[in-house]
Amino acid sequence: MSICVGLDVSLRSVAMCVLDAKGAIIEEVSLPCEVEAITDHIREAGYVVERIGFEAGTMSQMLFHGLTAEGFEVVCMESRQVAAALSAMRNKTDKADARGIAQVLRAGWYTPVHMKTRESHDIRALLSARKALLSKCIDLENEIRGLFKAFGIRLPSHLSRLRFDEKVRPIIVADEALAFAMLPMLEARGVLYDAFRAMEKRVYAVSHKDPVCALLMTAPGVGPVTALAFKAAIDDPARFTSSRLVGSHFGLTPRRFQSGEMDNPGRISRAGDRGVRVTLYTAANSLLLRSTRPSALKTWGLRLARTKGRRRALVAVARKLAVILHRMWVTNTPFLSEGAA
């Protein structure tokens, strides 16, 4: 008998719903959110499971790889589709959600989510740590600037991060009240900045040693952070049947609303990984405004900026850059200045 198992996953527990081939409920149970607990329960019950499914979330990687290693066919479903299906249900409980997920799994009305490799997660962790350290460092700098304003002290708006301590410390030390309030913040900022610089060196080292990242960085505007972020997000370039699909994967293509005689393109969808979308946008900005290297892509982008405006041009260049980077990866070909666009 064909059996589908739907899991509604939370941090510490899993609501499980087991359905037969006709959609009838065989069992509903709550288990610890552990691969061993789920596997033991299924085997003790003697279920011959066709598929196990759950929606994408923070625990999905652990469950997917763990249950796959135990020999089950596992499906991780796109959260938006699952949410749309569950919104039709009257009650919102873990039990009801597991039941809805099991029905979606049985019906096949879902888009499976690609589960990334350990290498991709290592890269994402490195970039997330770098971003967090920089963000906290900027927060403390802004807090110090804000406190200075109350005393009529205005720091230069373009003070470099490297010289921040050198500029600020003498001002703080000269005033006992300021020193008592601000020195701990300045010291904490210094520790965070040193950790950020060490993390930055690690990012540069990893990107230059990686052959894929080294290839991607031959494109103008693409630096170590963009190359690593793009590689981690794509993970397996073969999962895209066409390079053109990469732009929509990162939410850089417009939404479309078509009904009858009405057909209106909208703003970009902003679907997919926001962090990668931001890095591609930053790379496009660098390509158009800072890169001195001539290329057909830059010429096209500047022409578009004159006719459609800078914002639209940056989005278009970011989309085209994503397509080009994927194609470079697939064909193992460095960026061609005149022919890549």
* Domain spans in the chain, listed from the N-terminal domain onward: 3-107, 118-209, 212-331
Model confidence band, residue 227 (pLDDT cutoffs 50, 70, 90) = very high
Q: Measured between alpha carbons, how far is 193 from 200 in angstroms, rounded to an integer?
A: 10
> β-pairing, 13-19 with 25-32?
antiparallel
Lowest-confidence pick of 4-13, 26-35, 269-278: 269-278
The confidence score (pLDDT) of residue 150 equals 87
DSSP 71: T
Mean pLDDT, to the nearest integer, of 286-307?
90
Tell me the torsion sign for CA atoms 79, 231, 245, 275. Answer: positive
The confidence score (pLDDT) of residue 340 equals 42
Mean pLDDT, to the nearest integer, of 303-331?
93
Model confidence band, residue 111 (pLDDT cutoffs 50, 70, 90) = confident
Q: Measured between alpha carbons, how far is 15 from 9 in angstroms, rounded to an integer?
A: 7
Q: Measured between alpha carbons, how far is 231 from 103 in angstroms, rounded to an integer?
A: 34
The confidence score (pLDDT) of residue 301 equals 93
The confidence score (pLDDT) of residue 341 equals 40
Provide the CA 33 distance to its chain's centre, in angstroms: 24
CATH code, residues 3-107: 3.30.420.40
pLDDT digits (tens, 9 = 90+) for 89-107: 888 899 999 999 999 999 9
Of the candidates 258, 239, 319, 321, the residue with the CA atom closest to the CA atom of residue 287: 321
pLDDT digits (tens, 9 = 90+) for 120-152: 999 999 999 999 999 999 999 999 999 999 888
The confidence score (pLDDT) of residue 226 equals 96
Residue 80 has pLDDT above 90, yes or no: no
The 3-state DSSP class for residue 70 equals: coil
H helix runs in the chain, sequence order: 35-45, 60-69, 79-86, 94-107, 118-150, 164-173, 176-209, 211-216, 224-234, 245-249, 274-289, 296-308, 310-331
pLDDT digits (tens, 9 = 90+) for 150-187: 888 888 888 889 999 999 999 999 888 888 989 999 99
Q: Measured between alpha carbons, how far is 341 from 327 in angstroms, rounded to an integer?
A: 11
pLDDT digits (tens, 9 = 90+) for 256-268: 554 555 545 657 7
Q: What angle do CA 105, 111, 113 make, to 5 degrees?
A: 105
Burial (0-12, 13-18, 19+ Cβ within 10 Å), 180: exposed
Residue 338 has pLDDT above 70, yes or no: no
Mean pLDDT, to the nearest integer, of 223-249?
94
Residue 314 has pLDDT above 70, yes or no: yes
What's the mean per-residue pLDDT of the chain? 90
The confidence score (pLDDT) of residue 84 equals 87
> β-pairing, 13-19 with 74-77?
unpaired
Mean pLDDT, to the nearest integer, of 208-233?
96
What is the model's pTM?
Answer: 0.83
The confidence score (pLDDT) of residue 339 equals 44
The confidence score (pLDDT) of residue 262 equals 52
The confidence score (pLDDT) of residue 252 equals 87
Higher pLDDT, 262 or 119: 119
Mean pLDDT, to the nearest integer, of 263-287?
81
The confidence score (pLDDT) of residue 135 equals 96
Residue 32 has pLDDT above 80, yes or no: yes
